[in-house]
A and B are shown apart, each in its own frame.
Chain A
Amino acid sequence: MKNQLSYYAGRVTAGLMSRREFLGRAAALGLTAAAANTFLAQAVRAEGPKKGGTIRMGLQGGATTDSLDPALAANQVSLMVNRLWGESLVELSDDGGIEGKVAESFESSADATEWTFKLRSGVTFSNGKDVTAEDVAASLMRHSGEDTKSGALGIMRTIRDVRAEGDTVVIGLDSPSADLPYLMADYHLIIQPGGGVDDPAAGIGTGPYILKEVDMGVRFVAEKNPNYWGDLGNAETLELIVINDNTARVAALQSGQVDMIDRLPPRTAGLVARAPNINVHQTSGPGHYVFIAHCNTAPFDNNDVRLALKYGINREEMVEKILFGYGSVGNDTPINASYPFYTELEQRTFDPDKAKFHMDKAGVDGAILLRTSENSFPGAPDAAALFQQSMATAGLQLDIKREPNDGYWSEVWNAQPFCTSYWGGRPTQDQMYTTAYLSTADWNDTRFNNEQFDQLLLAARGELDEAKRTQMYADMGKILHDEGGLICPMFNDFLDASSDRVAGWKEGVAGYALMNSYAPHRMWVVG
Chain B
Amino acid sequence: MSPIVTLLAQRISLGLLLLFLVSILIFVGTIILPGDVAQSILGQSATPEALANLRRDLGLNDPPLTRYIDWATGVLHGDLGTALTSGQDIAESLGSRFRNTLFLAFWAAIIAVPLAVFLGLLAVRYRDRWPDKLISAVTLASISLPEFLIGYLLMFFLGVKLRLFPSTAIGYRADADVFTRLEAIALPVAVLTLVVLAHMMRMTRAAILNVMQSAYIETAELKGLTTFRVIWKHAFPNSIAPIVNVVMLNLAYLVVGVVVVEVVFVYPGMGQYLVDHVSKRDVPVVQACGLIFAAVYIGLNMLADVISILANPRLRHPK
Contacts and interface: CB of A to CB of B under 8 A. Distances in A.
Interface of A: 58, 63-67, 72, 74-75, 146-151, 153-154, 201, 215-219, 241-245, 247-248, 251-252, 254-255, 257-258, 406-407, 409-411, 413, 442-443
B33 A64 contact: no
A67 B159 contact: no
B53 A148 contact: yes
A245 B41 CA distance: 21
B50 A148 contact: yes
A64 B270 CA distance: 11
A142 B268 CA distance: 33
Given A257-B168, A407-B33, A64 B45 contact: no
B41 A442 contact: no
Contact of B44 (A65, A254, A407, A409): A409
A202 to B, nearest CB: 13
Interface in B257-294: 263-266, 268, 272-273, 276-277, 279-280, 282
Contacts of B155: 247-248, 251
15 contacts: A64-B93, A64-B272, A65-B280, A66-B85, A67-B85, A149-B54, A201-B87, A217-B272, A219-B170, A245-B263, A247-B155, A252-B167, A257-B166, A258-B170, A407-B34
A477 to B, nearest CB: 23
Residue in A148, A243, A407 whose Cβ sees the most chain B Cβ within 10 Å: A407
Interface string B196-223: 0000000000000000000000000000
B42 A251 contact: no
Given A64-B86, A255-B160, A442-B48, A74 B43 contact: yes
Nearest to B166: A257
Given A64-B277, A217-B276, A251 B86 contact: no
Given A64-B86, A74-B42, A245-B266, A149 B34 contact: no
Most A CB contacts (10 A, CB to CB) among B53, B88, B168 go to: B168
Contacts of A243: 168, 170, 266
Nearest to B51: A149
A66 B49 CA distance: 21
Interface residues of B, number: 47
B183 interface: no
Q: Pick the most buried of A201, A255, A411: most chain B CB atoms within 10 A of its CB.
A: A255
A218 B269 CA distance: 10
A269 to B, nearest CB: 16
A255 B53 CA distance: 45
Contacts of A252: 167-168, 170, 266
Contact of A410 (B35, B163, B266, B276): B35
Contact of A149 (B53, B88, B168, B276): B53
B152 interface: yes
A14 to B, nearest CB: 25
B57 interface: yes
Contacts of B34: 406-407, 410-411
Contacts of B159: 251, 255
A219 B268 CA distance: 9
B171 interface: yes
A151 B45 contact: yes
B83 interface: yes
A251 B272 contact: no
A134 to B, nearest CB: 24
In the A-B complex, the 8 residue pairs with the closest CB atoms: A407-B34, A65-B85, A151-B45, A410-B35, A64-B276, A63-B276, A407-B35, A255-B167
B47 interface: yes
A257 B170 contact: yes
A405 B69 CA distance: 30
